[in-house]
Structure 1
Amino acid sequence: MTAAETVLAALPDLESDLEDLYTRLHQNPEVSGCETETADLIAERLEGLGFEVQRIGGGVVGVLENGEGRRVLYRADIDALPVKEATGLPYASTKTMEDQDGNVVPVMHACGHDVHITAGIGAASLLAEHRDAWSGTYIALFQPAEETGWGAKGMLEDGLTSKIPTPQVAFGQHVMAAGMIAGEVATRPGPILSTATSLNITVDGKGSHGSMPHLGIDPVVIAAAIVTRLQSVVAREIAPSDFAVLTVGSLQAGSSANIIPAEAVLQLNVRAYSTEIRDQIVEAITRIVRAECEAGRSPQDPDIEVLNEYPLTENDEALTSLVRDAFVAQLGQDRVLEAAPATASEDFSEVPRAFCIPYTYWFLGGFAEGQEQFPNHNPRFAPAIEPTLATGVTAAVTAVLACLAAGE
């Protein structure tokens, strides 16, 4: 038997406990930056398994040293979303809580992070209980605030790279709906998740009575011109062979039909499979916004603020090949798919980039065959507990042991 087969033979004995953990997490979600109870639960579990546990930047890291060998890091994100759950499940979240801005919001694990936590705890449990099957160091990292793009950076700013053994490879996974069913995994070398940037743009005008527009400077007109002009960026400045998206997701100005407001605020989102293309689009946005403000006689330069940035998730080719072969051996060829690059974004790669190590990231099917699928972040997003959890644990353990068994 392979090391993975030996360790995973004990998975059926854990399934009931993992299902209980999953439903507990699902019923008790916490929004980004406020994951205190979730982190406490994770730390308690890891400590009980014999891990050396640290709280770093709002997250939890457990280190399990088991003799000579490679050092492997597996990361799971732990935050939930300000979404009101509408699944109708007996273990649905009815929770509300204050977010970091002091707003009371409904909270739901609408992106599968409860699956990721449970799979991470399951993998940690099996590896801790079967140390005779492997040698090396396993690092279980549970990261906060993925949904806001600040979680990985927060852990790094709190000294992550100096507080744990330097890993040699890193792994992550994510539940996805489209194109997959529970029990399947999908991966690919190269770009697998897009890079993204969100911008907040404030355009200044001069307020006036709606009947006296000549005495004011209308920021609504300027903002409308900006929105129209931005539609040409991807169509006319990016090569047709390259992927890029530029979305104006919000335009807010004024509160009355007969008042010309003093400002307009736009929020934009940019995505690409290349950091260079993303930066090219951001430069084009800056150029167009400034030009339209000048053309519209805005009394001052626009304020262009970066709300968040997500790096490109680009899988290492050799490591992905190694892990994919291990998945096929463990799960079977029919359950290991070739992933298409997704337009969603993640901050997972911030950690391996900080350590200058290769990484690979894969997708996990979450909906049973025949089950109605809802996309991530939807109020009715409800992965099938099994075989989703078992597959998530299996994939994590298989990837980790493929590297621990591969030697230096």
Structure 2
Amino acid sequence: MKPLLLSLLLVSSLNGADLPSVVKQELPSLVTLYKELHANPELSLHETETAARIARELREVGLEVTEKVGGNGVVGVLKNGDGPVILVRTDLDALPVKEVTGLPYASTKVVKDELGREVGVMHACGHDMHMTSFIGTARALAKLKDQWKGTVVMIGQPAEERVLGARFMLRDGLFSKFPKPDKAVALHCSSDMAHGTIGLVEGFALANVDSVEIVVKGVGGHGSMPHLCKDPIVLASQIVLALQTIVSREVRPGDPAVVTVGSIHGGTKSNIISEEVRLQLTLRSYKKETRQHLIESIKRIVKAQAESASMPADKMPEVLISDDSATALYNQPELCQEVRKYIGAVIGADNVLTREPVMGAEDFSEYGMTKDKVPLCMFWLGTQPPAVVAAAKAKGSTLPSLHSPLFKPVPEPTIETGVTAMTSAVIGLLKK
């Protein structure tokens, strides 16, 4: 059969399927689910009630469900004869952000974080929308089994915000205890796209992320006697300035990279030269080689600055690389082109937008980093009123971003598009 004829038949099959009416039928209960999830967020590694709710929803659809995979991870398997295996992923966790949206279903939850501080908790990154679209997709796939053949593995992943959950689930046997996927798809809310639209990025879509802490040591003393001390605040300031040359003078122009010092803490009083200053950095890149270069350059610059300040050997700074790192998300172009075709056939090709890569992070990338090299595609889901997006664009202003206490998706149309887009993509990839 000629490729064009096959494509036309596929589009006809998807359009002929009763997907829109299935989504419309499920929409009221999905909106209720969304508001319940939004009002009851849980921090990373504490998603016990959220995971139990997702497991219960999947069981009600008829999936074979396993809980406690890699911590609070949930795996649901829906088999429908012989065919490919497609992995669909949602994240479960929320952020330590106090919500100020004023919504009637806003989160008022306050918990203690790992340092014992009281913090508000909010789904400020849209994971509640991800979960709702995920459950809606499970329901639609179960009702439209006559349209596809194969296996769908649906996973609820914990600790995405700490870029830990994917690794935890993989280490616990995600690809060995359950059907190994041939392809994997996911969606993520966008804060600046209109609801009813989907965004796609082929190739690198999200960045490598490394968290670095620099402990700058000093010889403390009285502020009136600096000649008897070694001032770590001065040294830390010199380090901060010197770090700015890494991207501007060491990274090839056109190769994306970011070195940001996001936190600096030192000293207790105006007339005391302190013993220590701590800097916290985030590093962003796409290429593996660039990622390594950033880390090595930081170590070199920190050491050289300390030596230029005649810092004693036992007072040399420490450079600490956190385990909470993320690998760049690479959206396989061929898979993205398939997903674009299948979604566009249902919601309209003009509503499937081409987006630019960003330097945010997502551990969905981990599912493509094993020896199996599973192709990945994560697409963006519009969440905002079209008129609001257009007005912001006309004024050159920005809307509340992901992780903002003001971020608020419009529930009904966003859920409808999320479920329709994900379900059409999965049906297309598992076409009979």
TM range (shorter): over 0.9
- Mapped partners of 2:406, 2:113: distance in 1: 22
For residues 197-346 of structure 1, the aligned pairs below 5 Å read 197-296=210-309, 297-298=311-312, 299-307=314-322, 308-346=324-362
Tell me the TM-score normalised to structure 1 length.
0.96
Gaps of 5+ in 2: 1-11, 390-398
The residue aligned with 2:32 is 20
Following the alignment from structure 2 to structure 1, what is the Cα–Cα distance between the partners of residues 223 and 136?
A: 62
- Is residue 63 of structure 2 the alignment partner of residue 71 of structure 1? no
CA apart distance, 1:326: 1.1
**Which of residues 12, 32, 41 is equivalent to 2:53?**
41
Runs of 4+ off more than 6 Å = none
Q: Which residue of 2 aligns with 1:81?
A: 95
8 Å CA contact 1:7–1:126 kept in 2: the answer is no
**Offset of residue 323 of structure 1:** 0.9
Q: In structure 1, what is the Cα distance between the partners aligned to 2:116 and 2:59?
A: 32
Partners of 2:36 and 2:266 in 1: CA distance: 42
| Deviation at residue 119 of structure 1 after TM alignment | 0.4
Distance 2:387 2:144 in 1: 36
Superimposed CA distance per residue, residues 29-56 of structure 1 (whole angstroms, 9 cap, x where no aligned partner): 1111111110010011111112111121
Indicate if the aligned counterparts of 1:64 and 1:139 stay in contact, CA closer than 8 A.
Answer: yes
Aligned-residue offset at 1:7: 5.1
Counterpart Cα distance in 2 of 1:174 and 1:283: 32
- Change beyond 3 A, Cα 1:68–1:100: farther
Determine if contact 1:78/1:142 at 8 Å carries over to the other structure. Answer: yes
Q: What does residue 377 of structure 2 align with?
A: 360
Deviations 1:126-181 (A, max 9, x none): 11233222211101111111111111112122222222110100011111123x21
Q: What is the CA-CA distance between 1:125 and the residue it aligns to? A: 1.0
Alignment partners' CA distance in 2, 1:383 and 1:139 = 27
Deviations 1:202-237 (A, max 9, x none): 111122121222222211111111001011111101
Aligned residue type for 2:337:
S
Preserved contact between residue 77 and residue 146 of structure 1 (Cα < 8 Å): yes
1:11 aligned onto 2:26 = no
**1:30–1:107 contact (8 Å) kept in structure 2:** yes
Range 273-282 or range 53-62, more displaced: 273-282
Match of 2:134 in 1: 120
1:79 Cα deviation from its structure 2 partner = 0.8
* Contact 1:206-1:216 at 8 Å conserved across structures: yes
Equivalent position SS for 2:42: coil
- Which residue identity does 1:46 align to in structure 2? L
Q: Which residue of 2 aligns with 1:159?
A: 173
Answer whether contact 1:4 1:397 (CA < 8 A) is retained: no
1:181 and 2:194 matched: yes
Is 2:418 the partner of 1:392?
A: yes
Q: Supply the distance in 2 between the matched residues of 1:59 and 1:251 (Cα, whole angstroms).
A: 35
Amino acid at match of 1:378: S
The residue aligned with 1:370 is 387
Distance 1:2 1:207 in 2: 74
Report the aligned-residue RMSD: 1.5
Query: More displaced, 234-243 or 2-11?
Result: 2-11
Query: Within the alignment, does 1:347 sit opposite 2:363 as a pair?
Result: yes
Is residue 2:13 matched to residue 1:2? yes
TM-score (norm: length of structure 2): 0.91
**Which of 77, 102, 108 is the aligned partner of 1:94?**
108
Aligned to 1:349, what secondary structure does the other structure show? helix
| Residues 283-307 of structure 1 deviation map (CA, whole Å, 9 limit, x = unaligned) | 1111111211222215333222222
Amino acid at match of 1:11: V
How many residue pairs align between the two structures? 405
Query: Which amino acid is the alignment partner of residue 421 of structure 2?
Result: A
Q: Does the 8 A contact of 2:175 with 2:181 survive in 1?
A: no
CA separation of 1:67 and 1:101: change in aligned 2, threshold 3 A? farther
The AA in structure 1 aligned to 2:48 is T
3-state secondary structure, aligned to 1:239 = coil
1:30 and 2:42 correspond: yes
Residue pair 1:34, 1:99 contacting (<8 A) in 2 also: no
Separation of aligned partners in 2, 1:399 and 1:4: 13
Distance 1:346 1:4, change over 3 A: farther
8 Å CA contact retained: 2:14, 2:346: no
Bigger CA drift: 222-231 or 209-218? 209-218
CA contact (8 A) 1:72 1:139 kept: yes
* C-alpha separation in 1, matches of 2:116 and 2:77: 34
